[in-house]
């Protein structure tokens, strides 16, 4: 049985509103909005059996956790844990971001663009904030996962520590520290098969739909600059073969009734997002999903990219797992544990999928760049594809390889948001991943757990 961990960032603080660097400074407290956000998290968690609840000892996190736990029935035990403290930035804490930029321009640039190299010279020696925080995150995982095997654990941390918890669990490098957005009271869900280093799945990341009017938009807004595009990556709605657990691959299976309903719900969820251009795999299931979304965005032409097609499963296509195991003993287990080593019989391997997914994304970014030049503003694009292709893109966007493809979940009709706040040539920021709240009204992905 998997261990489920629900990560929550604290609610809005008075330092957040004033753009003051908090770090481990404990003068920052929740605003009224921050307390209301925490209440909405409590509502979102109702009905989940939470076995343990942890929080940082800093006021803003502790206040958030206490507000949540007081409203949960039954109330889980709440424990403060020093390993959930925020990143330690002693020379900057309490300073406005604008003042840090002005007084420490080179150091701030390194902090933003080379966080794995960023250091502070202290009387005690050279301090590497991000590298130190990652070791702290690993220590937390080692402590908590051994204590709560097979249970559900919730925690309230901070922007930095939550990023490091996510990245160390998934194997994402320290150079990508700023690439995982964590909004106030955003929720992320991780599923661990065992200890740190064993199989892990990011079910969803930085969900904010539960905040309703407090969230401000369908998908979380990026911080920092606004010089680059935003891309909305969607997996197609359900097919009957998803429901049955049959491998689809490049067989053109259409949406079933549930899938059409999911596509309509995605369209309604994104109807107020200003979409400037759209691409889809040419296969029936993503194309129908994309058309349902674009029904709310008149005048947009849907571009079709063959490079977005689902993985070619070859002779596996149309078969159930039991049939594959009977015909290819051991290969299915190899696919589930070491997918990067599998060549599909008369089909593709993951490297081929990664290569063409990279080509597709480059074409999407090129369109975003050309359109932005004409419009003189950053654009928002829609991309609708498949499970394996979307996972391949997420691996590439976070610096991971084909061996990591199972670390990301993509539910039918799930929405993922990626932005390039410093321009399309910069590192991307994953704003939110696998949003399915619009389908089920919960923070958990309830979509079909069928084959690819």
Query: Is 236 an annotated catalytic residue?
Result: yes
Residue 150 — left, alpha, or beta (φ > 0 → left; ψ -120 to 50 → alpha)? left
Tokens 């079909």 sit on residue: 448
Q: Which residue is catalytic, options 86, 93, 203, 310?
A: 310
| Structure tokens, 307 | 């490079």
Q: Which two tokens stand for residue 138?
A: 């690993």
Q: Residue holding tokens 């998997």? A: 2
CA 95, CA 351: separation in Å to the nearest integer? Answer: 46
Q: Please identify which of the residues 10, 158, 210, 236 carries the catalytic annotation.
A: 236
Cβ proximity of 418 and 397 under 8 Å? yes
Strands across the sheet with 152-157, in order?
78-80, 52-55, 152-157, 3-9, 187-192, 200-207, 429-435, 415-419, 230-235, 380-385, 277-280, 302-304
Among the listed residues 240, 289, 242, 238, the one whose alpha carbon sits nearest the alpha carbon of residue 268: 289
SS3 8: strand
Residue 39 structure tokens: 């209440």
How far is it, in rounded angstroms, from Cα 443 to Cα 365?
30
Q: How far is CA 15 from CA 18, 95, 313, in A?
A: 5, 10, 52
| Class of residue 27 by CB neighbours under 10 A (exposed 0-12, middle 13-18, buried 19+) | middle
Are 51 and 74 a contacting pair, CB within 8 Å? no
Report the sign of the C-alpha dihedral through residues 171, 177, 178, 180, in that order: positive
| Token pair of 267 as six digits | 């369209």
Do 130 and 177 meet the contact criterion of CB atoms below 8 Å apart? Answer: yes
Q: Does 148 qualify as catalytic in the annotation?
A: no
Strands 302-304 and 277-280: parallel
β-bridge mates for residue 420, sequence order: none
> Cβ–Cβ contacts within 10 Å for residue 147, how many?
12
Which residues are the active-site residues?
236, 310
């Amino acid at each position: 049985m998997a261990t489920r961990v629900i990560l929550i960032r604290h609610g809005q603080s008075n330092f957040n509103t004033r753009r003051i660097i908090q770090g481990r400074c404990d003068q920052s407290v929740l605003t009224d909005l921050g307390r209301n956000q925490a209440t909405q998290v409590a509502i979102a968690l109702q009905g989940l059996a939470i076995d343990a609840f942890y929080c940082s000892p800093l006021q803003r996190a502790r206040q958030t956790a206490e507000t949540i736990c007081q409203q949960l029935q039954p109330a889980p035990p709440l424990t403060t844990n020093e390993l959930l403290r925020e990143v330690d930035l002693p020379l900057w804490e309490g300073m406005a971001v604008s003042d840090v930029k002005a007084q420490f321009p080179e150091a701030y640039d390194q902090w933003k663009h080379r966080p794995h190299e960023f250091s502070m010279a202290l009387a005690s020696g050279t301090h590497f904030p991000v590298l130190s925080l990652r070791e702290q995150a690993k220590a937390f995982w080692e402590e908590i996962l051994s204590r709560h095997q097979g249970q559900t654990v919730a925690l309230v941390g901070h922007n930095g520590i939550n990023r490091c918890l996510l990245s160390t669990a998934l194997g994402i490098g320290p150079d990508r520290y700023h690439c995982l957005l964590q909004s106030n009271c955003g929720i992320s869900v991780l599923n661990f098969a065992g200890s740190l280093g064993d199989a892990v799945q990011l079910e969803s990341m930085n969900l904010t739909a539960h905040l309703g009017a407090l969230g401000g938009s369908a998908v979380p807004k990026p911080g920092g600059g606004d010089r680059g595009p935003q891309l909305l990556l969607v997996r197609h709605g359900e097919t009957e073969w998803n429901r049955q657990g049959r491998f689809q691959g490049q067989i053109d299976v259409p949406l079933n009734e549930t899938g059409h309903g999911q596509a309509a719900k995605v369209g309604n969820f994104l109807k107020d997002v200003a979409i400037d251009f759209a691409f889809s795999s040419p296969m029936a299931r993503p194309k129908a999903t994309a058309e349902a979304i674009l029904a709310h965005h008149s005048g947009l032409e849907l571009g079709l990219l063959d490079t977005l097609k689902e993985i070619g499963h070859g002779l596996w296509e149309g078969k159930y797992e039991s049939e594959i195991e009977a015909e290819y003993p051991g290969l299915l287990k190899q696919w589930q544990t070491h997918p990067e080593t599998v060549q599909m019989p008369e089909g593709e391997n993951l490297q081929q999928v990664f290569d063409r997914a990279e080509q597709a994304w480059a074409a999407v970014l090129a369109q975003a760049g050309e359109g932005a030049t004409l419009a003189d503003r950053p654009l928002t694009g829609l991309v609708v594809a498949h499970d394996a292709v979307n996972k391949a893109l997420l691996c590439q966007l976070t610096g991971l390889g084909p061996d990591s493809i199972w670390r990301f979940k993509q539910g039918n009709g799930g929405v993922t948001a990626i932005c390039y706040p410093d321009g399309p040539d910069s590192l991307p920021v994953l704003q939110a991943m696998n949003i399915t709240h619009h389908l089920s009204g919960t923070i958990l992905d309830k979509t079909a757990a069928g084959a690819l």
